[in-house]
Structure 1
Amino acid sequence: MPELLARTSSAELTEWMAYERVTGPLGAERLDALFATLCATVANTARAKGRKAEPKDFMPTWDQGAKGPQDWREMLAAVKAYNRRIGGTDSTTEGGAAGGDA
């Protein structure tokens, strides 16, 4: 991870975060499409008469931005959560940007 952070600018990392937010996770986590297809197949073999299951019935919805604009506090919380997820460190201080209109 340190090499990635050394070679990737903040702007590029932000673009990748936005891309991932709309399309879903990158890498191995992207197996959601494969598992949705598998789940639909299993559901269809075990179903009674009725509507046939499709992979989209089992696909998670990744576009979290559809709920509208966020205020800066929600954005900061999202960035901190993503930072924790990728194993980053938090260099902010109590009462810093989160405490004012920075």
Structure 2
Amino acid sequence: MAELLARTSSAELTEWMAYEQITGPLGGARLDILNAILTAVVANTARGKNGRRARPQDFLPKWDRNRRMDWREMLATVKQINRRMGGNDHTRKRPDRG
């Protein structure tokens, strides 16, 4: 993120955001949608005559983007990622915070 902000102006980021609003999602989100469409087509070719028609939404992953975490959950998640990546935990343990 720091490198992105060092190389890209606020105006350019705003332009990319506007572009994405017009053309649809960029990157991973777009690939999720394209794969969901393809999977729905394949599923529909393999379904029986009485089977329910598959829709791309049936195959879109749900990434919990709207779920709000409190600071304890966020800290636990960051510590878990840090451990998995072999990082060191330099936080001080206080009796009131565990």
Q: TM-score range by the shorter chain?
A: 0.5 to 0.7
What is the 5 A alignment of 1:11-22? Answer: none
Q: Gaps spanning 5+ residues in structure 1: where?
A: 9-24
1:57-100 CA-partner distances (Å, limit 9, x unpaired)? 0001123443xx5332211133456779xx8x967515x2xx33
**CA-based RMSD:** 3.7
- Please tell me whether Structure 1 or Structure 2 has the larger radius of gyration of its CA atoms: 2
1:33-78 CA-partner distances (Å, limit 9, x unpaired)? 0000000000000100221000000001123443xx5332211133
What is the 5 A alignment of 1:30-41? Answer: 30=29, 31-41=31-41
After TM superposition, the score normalised by the length of structure 1 is: 0.52
Q: Quick check: which one's helix share is greater? A: 1
2:70 maps to 71
Deviating above 2 A after TM superposition, structure 1's stretches of 4 or more consecutive aligned residues are 1-8, 63-66, 69-73, 77-84, 89-92
- Contact 2:82–2:88 (CA under 8 A) maintained in structure 1: no
Q: In the comparison of the two structures, how many residue pairs are matched?
A: 76
Higher relative contact order (CA 8 A, sep 6+): 1
